[in-house]
Amino acid sequence: MTANTARATTDCQPVTPMPGYFQNDCMEESLVRQMNRKVLKLALPSILANITVPLVGMVDVGVSGHIGDAVAIGGMAISTMLFDLLYWNMGFLRVGTGGMIAQALGRRDFSGIMKVFTQGIGTALGIAFIIFAIQYLYIDIALGFIQCSPEVADYARQYYFIRIWAAPATLSLFVFKGFFIGMQNAISPMAADITVNVANLGLSLLFAVKMGMGFKGIAWAVFAAQYTGLFLCIALFLIYYRRLLKYADLRKSLRLKDLGKFFSLNGNLFVRSVCFLFIYVGFTSLSAKYGDVQLAVGTIIMKLMMLFSFFIDGFAYAGEALAGRYIGARDSEGLHLSVKVIFRWCFWIALASTAVYVAGGKQMVMLMTDKADVIEASVPYLVWLWLMPALSTSAFVWDGIYVGATAARPIMFGMICAAASFFAAYYALEPILGIQALYVAYMVHVVVRSVWMYAFRRTAVYARVVQDAKRREMCPGGAGNGTAGHEMP
């Protein structure tokens, strides 16, 4: 009797012989309930953590607005954008780490887990060193392209040259979060995110207001909050996973052959991140040419669209963790069931989000601004809020599942096509639709992503179970390192 059959029999009462089809129905219902619990255990903490993310920017802008004037707020906006550009493309440190560790966990390959983790931390620290080395060049070039007053630029430099020293913590946190997600643990990254955001709030008020450090105090607060989050992650690792340390092999992890595989996967994910950046920067820069009001409308609509993604991303993380684990364990049925359950949850979330956008879209805009001209100008674009959940859910969810399958090349090519479709749709439709073409183009890009990943799901995701099994047959002993079959430390 398999473990799943045993669990199903326990859940079905009474435990007496039943006709086959009743027994099968009971087993299937039990497995679905178990999968629902697994999905929610991973998704809900991630959703809660996502909701706290905007607090960092809101707190920094709010404090700068109270201790300074419009120049201080402008300086905060510019400096925050500089770090967004710097760190946006480093998301592969979390994404790639999570998928590879989930698969290693499914194989019970604890040496593989520590190899990926070590490579991730080493890469994060290496990138931080490069950031330190080019920090003056980067800000000089960036401010050369950004049109702002000398006073705003001075504030931006003050903030930048303090926060830049948090780079090792910020990048290492990406790796720790990927490690925890891969280990099917969504509570620890949630705890880290909430700790960082709450620490940032408290320390900003303490340093900038109470201690009178002014604008620089905000930067020192971010610096301290990032390292607080890093220390918490180290503590959580030692509490729950310290027994994995005996599987760590620094020399083996840093061999060129093993690093080549790590960087090959993450290089593809880096290109994916660059494509995302082109789309979002393109949307903002193209909307700016229609005037300040349309730029404000575009910014607000984009922010409101992203509210939906906070919820869907939690299930995408669950898809990443579970897909990776089931592929590593060669569990085709578990993989298919997890995908089915995740999409079922996301369907209801998309439906609820659409209802919220339809009922309260204009009220949401009014919460973001009190400018009557901006509120009225936003009305023709509210329809895109209504359509966003239905058109984008599949793209977000498949993205997480592909990451768990470490199908980085299909993701990369899909994002290249999506980015190309965004700009192609805009320039083709702009003479006819005007600025509405920009919103059409954004929806086109998410549809292209959805269609692409759905079309390649069999070879990029489901076939990975068979591919992984064949590799392991060619390399007896599971992962080839003598750890397969060990119990989790």
- pLDDT by residue (tens digit) across 43-65? 888 888 777 666 666 666 666 66
Identify the pLDDT of residue 32: 79
Spatial CA neighbour of 275 closest among 82, 422, 382: 422
Angstrom distances, CA of residue 324 to CA of 271, 334, 465: 21, 11, 10
Question: Is pLDDT larger for residue 470 or for residue 450?
Answer: 450
CA distance 297 to 313: 24
Do 275 and 226 share a domain, yes or no?
A: no
Residue type for 150, please? P
Please report which confidence band the pLDDT of residue 352 belongs to, taking 50, 70 and 90 as the band edges: very high
Say yes or no: 224 and 273 in one domain: no
Task: Give Cβ neighbours of residue 183 (< 8 Å, ≥ 6 apart).
Answer: 101, 102, 105, 113, 241
**Looking at residue 53, what DSSP letter applies?**
T
The full DSSP string for 339-357 is: HHHHHHHHHHHHHHHHHHH
Closest CA to 266 of 96, 11, 112, 27: 96
Residue 365 belongs to some domain of the structure? yes
Q: Which of 254, 281, 304 is the last residue of a domain?
A: 254
Predicted model pTM = 0.79
Is 40 within a domain?
A: yes
Task: Examine the domain organization and report whether 248 and 313 are in the same domain.
Answer: no
Q: How many domains does the chain have?
A: 2
> What is the pLDDT averaged over residues 229-249?
93
Average pLDDT score over residue span 331-340? 90
**Confidence at residue 81, expressed as pLDDT on a 0 to 100 scale:** 75
What sign does the dihedral 462-465-470-471 (CA atoms) show? positive
Closest residue by Cα to residue 214 from 80, 82, 52, 75: 75
Over residues 439-445, mean pLDDT: 93
Residues 199 and 280 placed together within one structural domain of the fold: no
For 101-119, the pLDDT digits (tens) are 998 998 899 998 999 999 9
- Structural domain of 286: 264-473
Distances (CA, A) of 423 to 298, 394, 440: 16, 21, 11
pLDDT value at residue 478: 44
Closest CA to 176 of 117, 225, 244: 117
Residue 322 and residue 239 share a domain: no
Across the chain, mean pLDDT equals 81
Q: Between 300 and 67, whose confidence is greater?
A: 300
Domain-embedded: residue 435:
yes
Residues 211 and 268 placed together within one structural domain of the fold: no
Smallest CA-to-CA distance from 165 within 97, 205, 206, 225 is with 225
DSSP 230-285: HHHHHHHHHHHHGGGGGG--HHHHT-HHHHHHHHHHHHHHHHHHHHHHHHHHHHHH
pLDDT tens for each residue of 180-216: 999 999 899 999 988 998 898 889 889 888 888 887 8
Between these two residues, 291 and 446, which has the higher pLDDT value? 446
Residue 5 — very low, low, confident or very high, per pLDDT cuts 50/70/90? very low
Calculate mean pLDDT across residues 163-187.
93
Token pair belonging to 176: 């720790």
Residue 144 has pLDDT above 60, yes or no: yes
- C-beta atoms surrounding 206 within 10 Å: 15
Structure confidence at residue 1 (pLDDT): 43
State whether 71 and 193 are in the same domain: yes
User: What local confidence, expressed as pLDDT, does residue 452 receive?
Assistant: 94
DSSP H helices, 329-435, are 332-368, 372-378, 382-404, 408-433
Asked whether residue 318 falls in the same domain as residue 250, the answer is no
Q: What is the mean pLDDT of residues 347-365?
A: 88
Q: What is the pLDDT of residue 280?
A: 81
